[in-house]
Amino acid sequence: MALPRGLASSLCLSVFLFSFTFLFWGTSAEGNPNYRDALAKSILFFQGQRSGRLPGGQEMSWRFTSGLSDGSFANVDLSGGYYDAGDNVKFNFPMAFTTTMLSWSTLEYGRKMGPEIGNARAAIRWATDYLLKCATATPGRLYVGVGDPNTDHKCWERPEDMDTARSVYWVSSSSPGSDVAGETAAALAAASMVFRKADPKYARLLLSTAKKVMQFAMQYRGAYSDSLGSAVCPFYCSYSGYKDELLWGATWLLRATHDVSYFNFIQSLGANEATDLFSWDNKYAGARVLLSRNALVDNDKAFERFRQQAEDFICHILPNSPSSSTQYTQGGLMYKLGASNLQYVTSITFLLTTYGKYMSASRHTFNCESLYVDYILGENPLKMSYMVGYGAYYPKRIHHRGSSIPSVATHPQSFGCEGGFQPFFYTANPNPNVLTGAVVGGPNQNDGYPDDRADYSHSEPATYINAAIVGPLAYFAGSHTN
């Protein structure tokens, strides 16, 4: 592998390049996952998470319309969007990150998606239509969630049966939320580029709204966790603070507009915190990889420090690096945190794949076979696919209300708040509805997976897990003949 121009000859970077070669070069020794099938299912999953009035072309046929009165507590229409995971709450912070990652996946790998590009755009638009409502329904407010998470989590019922309070939450100049606003701006800006050719009018609306939301994020500084308290914590607290979202939002607006004022803002932030994570909460690494594109692809020296920061992040990820801070299971899976570990695996894999793409575009040899994606799809000690509906052996008892309770199609009567616990949550039987394409939280640090509905930290799927794997799957689907 040739060294990129201008790379420092540090030991860390040498190990980084060697590790890329070792981990990702060549063909997987075991099996040949059907990446194109996995890609289609990873996007189909989002239909199972839809809130609002479902369209006639809904393929996930066990789901039905829900949440049509969302927003009524504030006299606005906030129907639509996605339920974040196995519950019936709409948390905008992870939903916006999901949207940004789906958009980034489509921007980088859309040409490799084949017929799935239309489905990817539809998945993005389902979110952005909702986020636009949240940003424009009431002047001076950004709505950031619907549904009381504390009461919702006491229930086990289908979204179609919801009878809990659909409380509405927002941030404003007096109750700021720079983190959720910065992420919302990032989502709208990234999506605007996805629709630039497919729907120019919609793209312009997305971008103009993104600019206004980003201005709000920059002008009224504060963490939304401080403003909203138990409505978002401990569920989606902004643990990393809001500086990373300001960096992330400005980075996406810089890419969408090429307006130098966003670059100047990024420079003024001084967001130099080291990290070895990338997630719905911590965006530093993602912003640095995206900014490094300017250094690698455009050869713009003004972005060199971001390239170095991106490579420092990668040196914290790859094994055998002297600065690695990442554990791996014996089966070879990156292991960051015990709860929903695959969210970090999919997000970080996206960054590794995309940084490699930028290296390749700058005329430096790079080829990537993802050991982590193959692990998720079944190349692991249990030979289990952690994507529901993919392969012969996959999780059957996922922590997901709609999947675990019989569909309205087969049981029209409502079950009520606690009606789903005894017959469906506590049973050892498989879920009656297959949430095709859902990637669950994943195995434990010993590569074990009990397939237990109650073990939500391992068995619960989430939109932000799936959103991050779409890009790598598209890359591999476009690079292989299955």
Catalytic annotation, residues = 399, 451, 460
Helical ranges in 72-221 per DSSP H:
92-109, 117-136, 149-152, 178-194, 200-219
Using DSSP's 3-state secondary structure scheme, residue 418 falls into: coil
Distances (CA, A) of 143 to 120, 134, 269, 438, 471: 25, 5, 26, 27, 28
Would you call the peptide bond into 381 cis, given omega within 30 degrees of 0 as the criterion? no
CA atoms within 13 A of residue 259's CA, in its CB half-sphere: 12
Secondary structure class of 380 (helix, strand, coil)? coil
Nearest to 358 by CA among 311, 302, 305: 311
The 3-class SS string of 155-197 reads CCCCHHHCCCCCCEEEEECCCCCHHHHHHHHHHHHHHHHHCCC
Closest listed residue to residue 178, CA positions, set 120, 123, 240, 233: 240
- Rounded distance between C-alpha atoms, residue 106 and residue 381, angstroms: 32
Estimate the crossing angle of helix 304-317 against helix 284-296, to 10 degrees.
Answer: 130
The amino acid occupying position 276 is D
CA distance 332 to 128: 36
Side-by-side strand order, sheet with 90-91: 90-91, 141-146, 168-172
Q: Which two tokens stand for residue 39?
A: 């890609």
312 - beta bridge partners?
A: none
Q: What token pair was written down for 283?
A: 């965006």
3-state class of 81 per DSSP?
A: coil
User: Based on C-alpha coordinates, what's the Rg of the chain?
Assistant: 21
Tell which residue, 395, 331, 379, 328, has the closest CA to residue 32: 379
- Residue 97: how many other CB atoms lie within 10 Å: 28
Dist. CA 176–CA 221, nearest whole Å? 6
